[in-house]
A and B are shown apart, each in its own frame.
Chain A
Amino acid sequence: MGALDGLATGFAVILTPTNLYYCFVGSFIGTLVGVLPGIGPLAALALLLPVTFTLTPVAGLAMLAAIFYGAMYGGSTTSVLVNIPGEAASVVTTLDGHQLARQGRAGAALGIAALGSFIAGTASIVLLTFFAPALAAIAIRFGPPENFGLMVLGLVCTLYMITGSAVKGVLTIALGFLAAAIGIDVVNGRDRFTFGSVNLTAGIELLAVVIGLFGVAEILANVETIARNTLVAERIRGLWPTAADWRASWKPILRGSGLGFLLGLVPGGGPVTAAFMSYAVERRIARDPTRFGKGAIEGVAGPESANNAAVGGSMIPLLSLGIPSNAVTALLLGALVIQGIQPGPLFMTQRPDLFWGVVASMYVGNVFLLLLNLPLVGLWVQLLRVPYRVLFPIVLLLAIVGTYSANKNVFDLWVMLGFGVAGYALRKLEYDLAPFVIAFVLAPLLEQSLRQSLVMSPDGAMILVERPVTAGLLAASAVLVGLMLRRKQRSEGGRT
């Protein structure tokens, strides 16, 4: 069956009232989950998994997938409005998105985020439609050495996230590494830095870290300044992106789509890494990188597109090989297994109705999400008028509920609180917190892939230069570091 015939089958399956309904419900819940800080797609999918028992496989999977990509749409909302990311993949959106809101341009930021999400989401499904089996065959060859190369490149990209003092920036990255080292050693299986605590054996929960560092710390920081006011004193200017915003954004959206798609495809990648790397890329190639962190629309357009494209990318190994590349797709796999369906390389030919039905549902879901999110922009922006003393207790409550719901472990709330206080202190001392998060995400993957590579290599570190993809990624990283050092040298030379 060709891709177009397949797609026709898929649309025939999905364009029934029942299936459309569940696709819409998924889109709606996804948006909500993305908007609410703390409650991420993973927790929402886990909660709703039992609901799919009673549905047909295609309706169930269409709904769950819609929650996943719907959350990527909604995630930007609180990042922009209140500087608190709705989920981990929207952390970078706070950097410029919230600055835009402070300038009264929240509508533009949210509009670009929604449109970028739509374009990237749809583009990634087009690639999925036509190239899924071929891409899956490439993605699966991506082994530990290639992963290591990718993680090094990601780490170099984090250096571009640093806005203030370089020493402080590198220190935050190091702290991220240290925090990530807590837990079970990936090679020998022993506990590491757990101090005998059961709760630390699996490491620190990313969600609790993000909500603490950004949510709780933001609330603490604001309580002392604007407790009596609304969040954004500026008059709200224009709800929609201007022509100038478009001109600045279309290239970052396309770059973010491509980058996000690739990172979703390979094991270890995913929406979080995709968003961070897209931000770093935009900042690297911008004519005037100093605009970033002060309300550059590209800093919203790129990452928000990238995290959506990553969802499309990560569906490929799942649907074409039956291999989940992250925790959310693992849950989708579980949902299929409960229905008695085991995706694998033959899934597409054995169950074309289901495979193409899900693909078609993703086209439809993205349209639903665009229609849902654009009108909501106006509503969300009005939230800025709500007095801080009303808004923030609600946000804090949601953060607590969301963090607890992920593992049902009270310890995570203490982690959230601890990171909240630490984040507040670090902010006062003018440390950037975004590099901490990305280092925290990358470090375990970096460590594991390096140690795996060295174990499987017959001649030590040579494996890292013998594998062409790894060598290429490492070379690119070296070039980027070189360029960074030269620029720094030049700017220092200019000063003396």
Chain B
Amino acid sequence: MKRFAVAFALGAAVAAPVSAQDPKAVKPKDFPTQPIEYVVVYPAGGGMDVTARLLAKYVEKATGDKILVNNRTGGAGMVGHTYLATQAKPDGYTVGVLANLVWGDAMLRAQGKWAYTDLEPIGYLNTDALTWVGPTEGPLKGKTLKEIVQIAKDKPGTIRIATVPGSMWEYLVEQVDAATGAKFLRVPFQGGGAGINALAGGNVDIAQGFFAEFRGLLDAGKVAPLAVASGERMPYLRDMPTFNEALGGKDYIWAVIRFVVVPKGTPADRKAYLAASVKAAMSDPELVAEYRKAGVFFDPALMSSTRLADDLNQYAERERAFYQQTGRLK
């Protein structure tokens, strides 16, 4: 995870704008003759599912192909990731719509049975950056992130923060603790939404989550945004600093990056066609507008990337470095 911000900059430097290629121009003769399955490894209704279903709608619109969105859930995504990497036929009829969380699964949980490189990225969709939100009443009201970190440093273990064990929610707290000498009291929850719920109820002092999860409470003045773990400020919340700005660093980058993959071995012509259809859907301003309404943002470097697989792999390797540094991976 080191030098993530640098990675963003690098990506932007090499990227050249690409005009959307018409999928019809690269359509193989014998493909597709049946519906294409978009596998989502998380339950219906979540951020990943919403992203995939909206994508399917616009790919159908752009190509006329029939897309089936299928939620293969279980093991917090692990069942679906394993299915895509080891069982799905690489014939172009199975496409994975997933997120960078697949890297952690591949590195920490797959026990060498598969690697993230068994899934080949064919299109970038959108990004959700992890955000810290605080209370709008009580002693922490109106405090900046830096001030709160100072309190957590002066009185260790008094500031309660909601985390999700074994995930980026926890890694970000760990990173802040390690870099600033603060000590937050980590209260475990199942998912970001439950933690934000606990913040609104006064059961924790800080919650972490994505914009869509706290937007309703934010509009009502029930929670206050503190900082976002992305390379640049969020378009929706221009006043909220990034962690890098607030705490002075460059490594506080934790986001869910959503993209499309095919299993390794998918024929090149089919892969090119599937990639072109995703690109065509993403060039539709209506889809971009729908994604924005759902509260996500677009990483300009990945949006214009010509070598998406390489750029994503670079991020993945930085994540591996973080796991090695923290002893999670040998």
A binding-site residues for B, Cβ under 8 Å: 45-46, 49-50, 53, 140-144, 184-191, 196, 198-202, 205, 267, 317, 321-324, 327, 330-335, 337-338, 340, 342-347, 407-409, 411, 448, 451-452, 455-456, 458
Contact = CB atoms under 8 A, between A and B. Distances in A.
Nearest to B167: A189
Given A317-B197, A335-B45, A456-B203, 4 more contacts: A53-B57, A191-B109, A202-B74, A456-B187
A267 B166 CA distance: 23
B215 A455 contact: no
B71 interface: yes
A187 B165 contact: yes
B138 interface: no
B74 A409 contact: yes
Interface string B162-188: 001111001000000000000001111
17 contacts: A46-B45, A50-B53, A143-B198, A144-B187, A185-B165, A188-B166, A198-B79, A199-B75, A201-B74, A202-B73, A202-B79, A205-B74, A267-B197, A323-B197, A324-B193, A407-B74, A408-B71
A194 to B, nearest CB: 9
Contacts of A455: 185-188
B216 A345 contact: yes
Contacts of A142: 201
A345 B57 contact: no
B70 A408 contact: yes
A49 B76 contact: no
A446 to B, nearest CB: 14
Interface string B63-102: 0000001111111101100100000000000000000000
Interface of B: 43-46, 49-50, 53-54, 56-57, 69-76, 78-79, 82, 109, 111, 158, 160, 164-167, 170, 185-190, 193-194, 196-198, 200-204, 212, 215-220, 222, 290, 293-295
Contacts of B187: 144, 452, 455-456
A141 B197 CA distance: 9
A330 B45 contact: yes
A407 B188 contact: no
Given A53-B53, A331-B45, A452-B187, A346 B165 contact: no
Nearest to A197: B75
A181 to B, nearest CB: 15
A397 B294 CA distance: 39
Nearest to A330: B45
Point out which of B57, B71, B158 has the most chain A C-beta atoms below 10 A from its C-beta. B71
Nearest to A445: B190
Contacts of B165: 184-189
A220 to B, nearest CB: 26
B75 A198 contact: yes
Contact of A342 (B74, B166, B196, B216): B216
B140 to A, nearest CB: 15
A71 to B, nearest CB: 16
- Counting from the closest, the 9 A-B pairs by CB-CB distance are A344-B216, A189-B166, A334-B45, A189-B165, A143-B203, A46-B44, A345-B220, A340-B293, A331-B45
A338 B295 contact: no
B160 A456 contact: yes
A190 B109 CA distance: 10
For A201, A330, A451, A455, the residue with the greatest tally of chain B CB atoms inside 10 Å of its CB is: A201
A46 B73 CA distance: 12
B216 A327 contact: no
A191 B76 CA distance: 11
Nearest to A202: B75
B219 A143 contact: no
Which of B74, B190, B198, B217 lies at the interface centre, i.e. has the most chain A CB atoms within 10 A of its CB?
B74
A185 B165 CA distance: 9
Contacts of B82: 198
Contacts of A199: 74-75, 79
B173 to A, nearest CB: 13
B294 A143 contact: no
B225 to A, nearest CB: 14
B295 A49 contact: no
Nearest to A322: B216
B201 A409 contact: no
A452 B73 contact: no
Contacts of A331: 43-45
Contacts of B166: 184, 188-190
Contacts of B57: 50, 53
B79 A338 contact: no
Contact of A144 (B46, B71, B203): B203
> Which of A198, A200, A317, A455: most chain B CB closer than 10 A?
A198
Contact of B294 (A45, A196, A340): A340
Contacts of B43: 46, 327, 330-331
A173 to B, nearest CB: 23
A49 B185 contact: no
Contact of B188 (A140, A330, A344, A452): A452
Contacts of B111: 196
B220 A346 contact: yes
A426 to B, nearest CB: 26
Name the residue in B56, B109, B160, B198 with the highest tally of chain A Cβ atoms < 10 Å from its Cβ.
B198
Contacts of A200: 75
Contact of A407 (B72, B190, B193, B203): B72
Given A186-B165, A188-B166, A342 B44 contact: no
Given A143-B198, A267-B194, A407-B72, A456 B185 contact: yes
A338 B162 CA distance: 26
Contacts of A451: 188
Contacts of B167: 189
Contact of B71 (A46, A185, A189, A205): A46
Contacts of A335: 45
Nearest to B194: A267
A302 B222 CA distance: 37
